[in-house]
Structure 1
C-alpha cells in the first residue's frame, strides 16, 4: 500500500479557514442582512451576483492584497510595514460597523495565534518565522485588522502566500453564503451551487490580487458601505452590529 504524501501546511490552511476558527466571523453578514431586508438579495442568482461583484471590485480585494503584503513582511521581518498596512486598512473602513468587525476578528485571531504558539507540542522541520507572534502583537495594539492577523498567522504556520490569499477569499465567500442561508429562503443545495458557481470568479480575483502593485489598491465598495450604514440602525437584526 502506497501512502500518499501531503504537506502538513495544507492542514494548517484548512484550520485557518475553518468555520470552527473562534474569531466570530459567523456573527457578521457584511451588509447581506440589510440587502435581504431591502430586497436587493432574495435568491441564489442575486446572492451570486453580489458576491461576484464584490470579488471583482469590492473591498475584499483590498483585504486579500493586505494579507499578501503582511505575509511577505512577516517573512522579511518588516514590522514597520505591517504596522503601516494595519493603519491603512483601518483608515479604509467606510463605516464604524465594518471597522469594529475587522478589529474584533483580528484581535481574536492574533490572540489565538499567540496562545497556540505558546502551547505548541508538534514540531516540524520548517524554519521558525522571527519575531514570534507574541513579540509582534504589542506593536499592533490597540487594534489589529483581521487581514493583518490572517497574514501573520499564515506566515508563522508556514502556509505559502498564494494559498493564504486563496483561503482568505474562500472563507469570505463561504461566510457570505452562510449569512444568506440564515436570512433568505435558500436551501443547503442551492448554497453549495452558489459556492461552485463562484469558483471561477474566486480564482480570477485571486490571480489578479497576486499581481496588484500598491498603486492599484482601489475598490468600488459604496454598495457595501451603504448597506453597512443601514444595518447599524436596522430595527431587527440577526447579525452583530
Structure 2
C-alpha cells in the first residue's frame, strides 16, 4: 500500500505518452475573449472546473469506473464508458478525452498490463475516455481510490496551468501559486467523488463549455482544444 502512489506518478507525469500538452480545454479561447487575463481570473476559472465543471464529472466517472472494475461488473463498465463519451459537450472535448484515453490505454496495456485493462477493452470496444482509462489502471493495480482521484485531479489542473503559462496568462511562479491554492479544493472534490454515483453527474461551468465550442472555429490556435 505504501508504494501505491508510484504508478500514479508515472501515469500522470507530463512525460507519459498521452499528448496532454496539446490541449487547453478551451482556455485559449477564454484568453482571447478576455475572460482570462491574470492569476486571479485563472484561479477562479479553474476552481469552477474543480467544483462545478468538467473535472467534477471526470472524478465521478473515475470513481464509478474504478468500482466497476473492482467488482468485475462489465455491464456497468460499458455503461460508464459510453456515458463518458456522451458527456463530452463539444467535438474538441471529445477529441481531448478520447485521444488521451486511447493513448493511455495503449501505453498501460503494453507497459503496465493487468486484468482490469483487458476487462475494459472487452467490455467496451469503442473509444475510451481518459478518466475511465486511468480508473481501470488504478483499480487493476490496487491503487486506492482517494489518492487516485486526487492525483488525477492534480494532473488535470497542472496541464491547464501549463497551457496558461504558454498562452502568457500567468508566469511559472504564479502558476505554482495557483496550483498550491487549489489543492484544498481538489481534496474536497476527491472526497465528494469517492462515494458518488452516476446520479451525481452534472455541472454549471457554462462559460467553460462555451469556450470549448468557440475554440473549434478560433482563427489562430496553439492548442487542439
Residue 126 (structure 1) aligns with = none
**Cα contact 2:36–2:169 (8 A) shared by 1:** no
1:90 is displaced (CA, Å) by 1.1
Q: Distance in 1 between matches of 2:128 and 2:206?
A: 23
> Contact between 1:59 and 1:220, CA under 8 Å: does it hold in 2?
no
TM-score, with normalisation over the residues of structure 1? 0.88
Structure number, greater radius of gyration: 1
**Counterparts in 2 of 1:70-81, with a 5 A limit?**
70-81=65-76
Question: C-alpha displacement at 1:224, in angstroms?
Answer: 1.9
Would the aligned equivalents of 2:22 and 2:224 in 1 still touch at CA under 8 Å?
A: yes
C-alpha offsets along residues 119-164 of structure 1, whole Å, 9 cap, x if unaligned? xxxxxxxxxx6x4523532432221111110100111222111111
Q: What corresponds to 2:185 in structure 1?
A: 201
Partner of 1:121: none
8 Å CA contact 1:86, 1:145 repeated in 2: yes
Aligned to 2:17: 22
TM-aligned CA distance change 1:206 to 1:35, over 3 Å: same
State whether residues 117 and 133 of structure 1, in contact with CA within 8 Å, keep that contact through their aligned partners in structure 2. no
Q: Distance in 1 between matches of 2:160 and 2:121?
A: 28
1:101 maps onto 2:96 in alignment: yes
TM-score, normalised via structure 2 length: 0.94
Stretches of structure 1 that go unaligned for 5 or more consecutive residues are: 1-5, 119-128
Contact 2:64–2:198 (CA under 8 A) maintained in structure 1: no
Matches within 5 A, 1:77-226: 77-117=72-112, 131-226=115-210
- Deviation digits for residues 4-37 of structure 1, max 9, x if unmatched? xx82222112112211111011110001011011
TM-aligned CA deviation for residue 176 of structure 1: 1.0
Count of residues in correspondence between the two structures: 225
Deviation at residue 113 of structure 1 after TM alignment = 1.3
In structure 2, C-alpha distance between the alignment counterparts of 1:205 and 1:172, rounded to whole Å: 13
Aligned partner of 1:232 in structure 2 is: 216
Mean Cα displacement is larger for which, 160-169 or 137-146?
Answer: 137-146
Runs (5+) with no aligned partner, structure 2: none
